[in-house]
Amino acid sequence: MTSKVEKTIAELLCCPYCLSYMYPPINQCLNGHNICHECYFRVLTCPTCRESKSLVARNYTLEAIFSILNLPCKYNDLGCDYISVGEKIRNHEDYCWYKKKKCPFATYDTCPWIDSMFSLRNHLLKSHSPSFVESRKNHFTSTNFKGISSYHYIFAVIYVYGKFFRLTWELEKSSKMTAWAVYFMGSPEEASNYSYKLEILSGAETKKENRHLMFKTVCDPKPENEVNDINKFGDHNCFYIHKTLLDKYCKTNGDLQYLVTIYKNIAKDQESTSTKSEAGMVQSEEVIEVSDDCQEISSIVKVEADKSCQ
């Protein structure tokens, strides 16, 4: 808190049941006692006076105070020192690295791990190394892509610039359309700081026939409402490519090769020392030149139709 007054006012925002700060909507009982919205659905009666809960009453005064009062992150006891007001603190807490989260492979590889983002890298290295890479530019190979006929998807996590990204592509059985995307595993505000480029490489044996497809765009935040493998892409941007087109880029053995490059965008006030990318974003020359640190991956998580929800 920045002052004793703010600290005193902040105490009024503490929920009597869970002792955490109450965020709008702040519910009340019939006697006017406050309770946070989450605990409102956990308890049968008011934790202060045992009176029944009101179906409509809210403390609009405290809600207004919440919007202007500096509050610490709810994970400050774990080490987070972030302090801000209203919606800013709530948005921060959703993506705070001290918050315990499920493993990115919890749904796709039935991994039970739950911990903070600070522990995620070591966990992925230990338990999911075939599907975890640490390079700005990565060479992937999907074996026998040409022979795939059922629902199919690929899933991998990329760690670069101290951040996590998720690569996913999916083949829809009936339409034979594939969807491709790299999502930023963090806040929407931070996601706009990064772009990615997807290159589908030619499987041609000679340079004369060599060709490739290239797509480039700004990263979107990873969809947070995934349940049982549904909504991997949500309403977020992704590239759609028909499988028959991609089949033409496969090698003679049916393998499909593709490059995924992550870029860090820079502030526009530094544009004078930068170059414009194909996506219209500003990126530094240093970030663009990444061909010397390409990491090749030939085996990443593959989930067939019988292991996924269609």
Global pTM?
Answer: 0.77
Candidate from 1-15, 151-165, 201-215 with smallest mean pLDDT? 201-215
> Are 49 and 106 within one domain?
no
To which H or E segment does residue 12 belong?
helix 4-12
* Residue range(s) defining the domain that contains residue 150: 101-265
Domain boundary among 95, 127, 150: 95
234 belongs to a structural domain:
yes
- The yes-or-no verdict on residue 153 having pLDDT over 90 is no
DSSP character for 266? -
- Is residue 289 one of the residues assigned to a domain? no
Residue 81 and residue 116 in one domain: no
CATH of the domain at 37: 3.30.40.10
pLDDT of residue 272: 43
Domain count, the chain: 2
Q: Is the pLDDT of residue 1 over 90?
A: no
Would you say residue 173 lies in a domain? yes
| Strand pairing class (83-85; 101-102) | unpaired
Distances (CA, A) of 63 to 33, 58, 262, 279: 14, 9, 40, 41
pLDDT digits (tens, 9 = 90+) for 25-62: 999 999 999 999 999 999 999 999 999 999 999 999 99
Rounded to whole angstroms, how far apart are CA atoms 180 and 182?
7
Residue with tokens 């053995």: 253
pLDDT digits 0-9 by tens, 17-31: 999 899 999 999 999
163 and 55 within one domain: no
Whether residues 128 and 207 fall in one domain: yes
DSSP-assigned letter for residue 162: T
pLDDT digits (tens, 9 = 90+) for 202-241: 887 655 566 788 999 999 888 765 544 455 676 657 888 9
Average pLDDT over residues 122-143: 93
305 assigned to some structural domain: no
Same domain, 114 and 234: yes
The verdict on residue 192 lying in a domain is yes
Using 50, 70 and 90 to split pLDDT, how confident is the model at 96? Answer: very high
pLDDT of residue 82: 94
The answer on 107 and 46 residing in a single domain is no
Distance, CA of 279 to CA of 34 (rounded, Å): 49
Q: Under 8 Å CB-to-CB from 87, ≥6 apart: which residues?
A: 67
Same domain assignment for residues 157 and 252: yes
pLDDT band at 158 (very low <50, low <70, confident <90, very high): very high
| Residue percentage of the chain with pLDDT more than 90 | 56
CATH of the domain at 236: 2.60.210.10
Q: DSSP letter string over 206-263?
A: SGGG--EEEEEEEPEEPPS--BTTB-SSTTS--EEEEHHHHHTTS-TTS-EEEEEEEE
> Within this chain, do residues 73 and 127 fall inside the same structural domain, yes or no?
no
DSSP state of 51: P
